């Protein structure tokens, strides 16, 4: 197990490092940053001054070294636009996005797991077919459009929930539904397929043969095993949600990480964009790493492979 752990950790760390190189190069290889920053009316001297001030006159490798040395200490430099340290900007915004992602994932799991399991138990019934049809339809709905439609229905017509912002818990309801929506079909299908596999296995037949109540068989024996792969999927989906929150936050004007990223991109504020790309990638890698470990712990066969 330890060898497995160390190997996975080494891979995860090197992926983080590669992503950092890509994030850095992507934003530095295109165009002349100093000219953009100094503005269209700047004289060549002013451009040169800006270039020196931000260290943009140094070789790329040196700039990357500086940036990386800071990044491992959570120092991502100064924002070009906000005139504030990137770390504190990101630190202020990230709780909102994490909260949004957590609620969205919770809602999605709460909705998808029971329905997926029930669809498997009632395989071939109208309920099963309706669930599958809902999956197909659900996956076709664009997140941003769903968000706007929810606003029209629940905020404008019914006046139940606020249109935008992130002041109270009620501000999180519609954005979480919009963000969690896209994860529902994937979780539902995986739960359903897992349940179908498990229900066909010998130990379920044994449990039934022993005369256990169907409810006990389904919930205690089958669902617990069927849900194992869902844990890994949930980790991956959470990573996607943090990345996808950029769209939802834009629709609902929530001041989270996604909104910060969008503003920073619009203003060519590269230190901020780089830091957010790095942060999201690292969280994703960490989540998949944890999911790997969890799976290996639950299923010893994986450790050998």
Partner 1 sequence: MSTTSASGAAATAAAGFDSVPVRRSPLARFTKRAARHPGFMAGAFILAVILVMSIGAPLFTTHDPYAQDISKRLIPPIWHAKGTWEHWLGTDKLGRDYFARLLYGGRISLMIGAATVLLSGAIGTALGVAAGFFGGRVDMVIGYIINVRLALPVVLVALAVAALVGTSLNTVIVVLGLLLWDRFAVVARSTTQQIAHADFVAAARAIGCSTRLIVFSEVLPNIINPLIVVATLEMAHAILLEAALSFLGLGVQPPLPSWGLMISEGKQYMFFSPWVITIPGVALVALVLGINLLGDGLRDVTAPDNRS
- Give 71 or 207: the residue with its C-beta nearer to partner 1: 71
Among 101, 244, 256, 271, binds partner 1 (CB under 8 A): 244
CB of 141: closest distance to partner 1 in angstroms?
6
Query: By CB under 8 A, which span of 10-18, 64-72, 164-172, 225-233 interacts with partner 1?
Result: 10-18
247 neighbors 144 (Cβ within 8 angstroms):
yes
Say if residue 222 is exposed, middle or buried (CB neighbours under 10 Å; 0-12, 13-18, 19+): buried
Site string for partner 1, 213-242 (x = CB under 8 A): -----------------------------x
Residue with smaller CB distance to partner 1, 166 or 245: 245
**Residues 137 and 176 sit within 8 Å (Cβ to Cβ):** no
Write the binding mask 249 to 288 for partner 1: x where contact by CB under 8 A, - elsewhere.
Answer: -x----------xx--xx-x----x--xx--xx--xx--x
Query: To the nearest whole angstrom, how small is the minimum distance from the Cβ of residue 69 to partner 1?
Result: 21
Contact code string over 21-60 relative to partner 1, x by CB under 8 A = -x---xx--xx-----------------------------
| β-bridge mates for residue 85, sequence order | 78
The minimum distance between CB 127 and partner 1, in angstroms, equals 17
Our CA angle for 266, 271, 275, nearest 5°, is 100
CB of 144 to partner 1, least distance (A): 5
From 91-99, 134-142, 222-230, 297-305, span contacting partner 1 (CB under 8 A): 134-142
Q: Interface with partner 1 includes 145 (CB under 8 A)?
A: yes
Binding residues vs partner 1 (CB under 8 A): 11, 14-16, 18-19, 22, 26-27, 30-31, 136-137, 139-145, 148-149, 151-152, 156, 242-244, 246-247, 250, 261-262, 265-266, 268, 273, 276-277, 280-281, 284-285, 288
């Amino acid at each position: 197990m330890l060898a497995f752990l160390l190997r996975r950790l080494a891979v995860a760390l090197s992926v983080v490092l590669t992503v950092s190189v890509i994030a850095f190069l992507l934003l530095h290889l295109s165009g002349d940053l100093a000219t953009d920053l100094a503005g269209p009316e700047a004289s060549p001297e002013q451009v040169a001054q800006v270039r020196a001030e931000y260290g943009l006159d140094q070789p790329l490798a040196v700039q990357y070294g500086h940036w990386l040395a800071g990044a491992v200490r959570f120092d991502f430099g100064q924002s070009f636009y906000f005139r504030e340290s990137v770390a504190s900007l990101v630190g202020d915004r990230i709780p909102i996005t994490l909260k949004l992602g957590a609620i969205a994932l919770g809602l999605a799991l709460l909705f998808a797991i029971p329905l997926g399991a029930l669809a498997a138990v009632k395989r071939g019934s109208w309920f099963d077919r309706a669930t599958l049809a809902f999956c197909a339809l659900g996956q076709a709905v664009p997140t941003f459009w769903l968000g706007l439609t929810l606003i029209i229905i629940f905020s404008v017509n019914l006046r139940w929930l606020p249109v935008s912002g992130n002041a109270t818990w009620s501000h999180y309801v519609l954005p979480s539904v919009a963000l969690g929506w896209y994860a529902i079909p994937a979780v539902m299908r995986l739960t359903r397929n897992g349940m179908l596999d498990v229900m066909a296995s010998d130990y379920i037949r044994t449990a039934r043969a022993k005369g256990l109540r169907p409810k006990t068989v389904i919930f205690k024996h089958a669902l617990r095993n069927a849900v194992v792969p869902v844990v890994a999927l949930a980790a991956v989906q959470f990573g996607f949600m943090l990345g996808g929150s950029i769209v939802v936050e834009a629709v609902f004007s929530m001041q989270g990480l996604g909104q910060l990223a969008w503003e920073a991109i619009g203003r060519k504020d590269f230190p901020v964009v780089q830091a957010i790309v790095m942060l999201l990638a690292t969280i994703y890698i960490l989540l998949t790493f944890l999911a790997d470990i969890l799976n290996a712990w639950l299923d010893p066969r994986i450790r050998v492979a």
